[in-house]
Chain A
């Protein structure tokens, strides 16, 4: 069964260091999402891509976070410099199309996440 692949699964870093997460969506999925899940809270959307274009990055802290999906396939989320408050699970999700998640083809499939701990 096709899955959304993420790496690394776990990352421990010191504050002020740079960190990067990688996501490979299900083959053929045009829409890719990065969510942040702080312990004890629900996921919060950071950025949404349609192919290689950013559709929504309104909640992305652009002073330290960046995301790219250069060829419209895999994606990288970078944090530089990392802060203590960035400790969280970073979830990647993909969907076949940009249709609403309630519609056929719009369902989100999530990866297992990358857990970041900033010391």
Chain B
């Protein structure tokens, strides 16, 4: 079975500081990995996705994530935090690329707080 674990339910950083949100996955087959962002009282928006084309994936809003098979990790980073980055971030995994019946399995989320 596939799953993701997000380490740290709450991360607090100062504006301008590095953002690091951790995600580890468990999958018996090569996974597809995603990061989504959810602003208060809104739906989820895709930040970036890993599809095996490149281990370093760049997404929107200056975020990027690196797939490390040896560490089974897909951590999300941003060099310099902005106040507008304050939101909840979800890591998700899906396996398989065929058929029409697949699932995105989400982690529990990490709430990012950015302090002025």
Indicate with 1 or 0, residue by residue over A102-119, a CB within 8 angstroms of chain B CB atoms: 110001101111010000
Q: Is the interface of A mostly helix, strand, loop or mixed?
A: loop
> Known: A98-B100, A103-B97. Contact between A112 and B109, CB under 8 A?
no
Give the size of the chain A interface in residues (CB under 8 angstroms).
Answer: 28
Give the size of the chain B interface in residues (CB under 8 angstroms).
Answer: 27
CB distance from B2 to the nearest CB of A (A): 13
Are A42 and B96 touching (Cβ within 8 A)?
A: no
CB distance from A24 to the nearest CB of B (A): 13
Are B104 and A101 touching (Cβ within 8 A)?
A: yes
* B101 / chain A contacts, CB cutoff of 8 Å: 48, 55-56
Among B44, B96, B97, residue most surrounded by chain A Cβ atoms (within 10 Å): B44
Set B43, B90, B106: member contacting A111, Cβ < 8 A? B43
B-to-A contact residues, CB < 8 Å: 9, 32, 34, 41-46, 49-51, 90, 92, 94, 96-98, 100-104, 106-109
